């Protein structure tokens, strides 16, 4: 099922759009099948879960952090991930930059946009993006490459369109600003129920989970960790 799903999605996407598998709670076997089917980017919400799977997969794929990063997990995140899509403050960017300096790494990042202006969500407001981008551009071991948004969780994909549109407008604004050391390449928007609308509004990276793997299962991280060690 996973193989068929991945290949069907890949064959349907425009050439400029990349597919990221949102792998939260998925087993090592499921992830391996997805990679064999053509997945080249894995997205994880939690550093701890990614660390477990990383030991079984390694650098066969590009690793993206798509969940909120706690500062006390930043060092480990720098070790595992190739891109952090959820930078939402200068303070967090500075912490990531410091650990990158220590390890000799330059981290690709996206600014997370709270396009729905939801009080319970992380991300910066659209009007705050430009100032944050300017400040991040001065950090030597971080490369800002674009924007990411979740948008409100709505049943009707069409209702997500205004939030994608607002994020694309902010993206285009930053492109025109031509801030030194900022490479506006990636617009990460859209999930399983909304990715088609997101692509119509300019997304070139989509984060799909359920449509690839099926309904999400609960994960016993201790049990999975033990199986990885055996």
- Tell me the Ramachandran region of residue 104: left when phi exceeds 0, alpha when psi lies from -120 to 50, beta otherwise: left
- Measured between alpha carbons, how far is 144 from 105 in angstroms, rounded to an integer? 14
Region of poorest pLDDT, from 73-77, 168-172, 222-226: 222-226
Residues 185-204: what's their mean pLDDT?
97
The class (CATH top level) of 2-229 is: alpha beta
Q: What's the token pair of residue 229?
A: 């060690």
* pLDDT tens by residue, 114-128: 999 998 899 999 999
Mean per-residue pLDDT for 151-162?
Answer: 88
pTM, two decimal places? 0.92
Which whole number is the average pLDDT over 58-65? 97
Dist. CA 168–CA 201, nearest whole Å: 7
Instruction: List the structure tokens of 72.
Output: 């006390």
Q: How far apart are CA 187 and CA 126, in angstroms?
A: 14
Report pLDDT for 217: 61
Give the C-alpha distances (Å, rounded to integers) separating 61 from 42, 80, 175, 225. 7, 11, 28, 20
CB-CB contact of 140 with 97 (8 Å): yes
Q: For 81-94, what is the mean pLDDT?
A: 98
Taking alpha carbons only, the member of 22, 15, 29 closest to residue 45 is 22
What does the pLDDT read at residue 228? 43
Average pLDDT score over the chain? 93
Q: Is the pLDDT of residue 227 over 50?
A: no
Residue extents of the structural domains in the chain: 2-229
Q: What is the pLDDT of residues 16-36, one digit of tens each?
A: 999 999 999 999 999 999 999
- Mean pLDDT over residues 74-100, rounded? 98
Averaged pLDDT, 88-97: 98
- The lowest-confidence range among 60-69, 87-96, 147-156 is 147-156
Residue 159 per-residue DSSP state: G
Q: If DSSP codes are grouped into helix, strand and coil, which group holds residue 41?
A: strand
């Amino acid at each position: 099922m996973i193989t068929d799903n991945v290949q069907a999605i890949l064959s349907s996407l425009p050439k400029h759009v990349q597919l990221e598998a949102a792998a939260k709670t998925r087993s090592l076997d499921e992830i391996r099948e997805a990679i064999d089917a053509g997945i080249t980017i894995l997205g994880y919400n939690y550093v701890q879960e990614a660390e477990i799977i990383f030991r079984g997969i390694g650098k066969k794929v590009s690793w993206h952090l798509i969940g909120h990063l706690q500062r006390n997990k930043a060092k480990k995140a720098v070790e595992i991930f190739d891109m952090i899509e959820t930078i939402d403050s200068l303070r967090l960017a500075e912490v990531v930059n410091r650990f990158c300096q220590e390890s000799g790494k330059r981290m690709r990042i996206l600014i997370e946009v709270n396009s729905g202006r939801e009080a319970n969500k992380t991300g910066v407001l659209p009007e705050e993006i430009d100032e944050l981008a300017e400040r991040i551009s001065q950090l030597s071991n971080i490369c800002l490459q674009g924007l990411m948004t979740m948008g409100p969780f709505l049943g009707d994909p069409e209702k997500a369109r205004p939030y994608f549109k607002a994020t694309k407008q902010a993206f285009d604004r930053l492109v025109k600003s031509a801030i030194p050391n900022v490479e506006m390449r990636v617009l990460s928007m859209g999930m399983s129920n909304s990715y088609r609308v997101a692509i119509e509004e300019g997304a070139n990276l989509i984060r799909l989970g359920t449509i690839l793997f099926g309904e999400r299962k609960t994960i016993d991280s201790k049990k999975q960790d033990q199986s990885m060690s055996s």
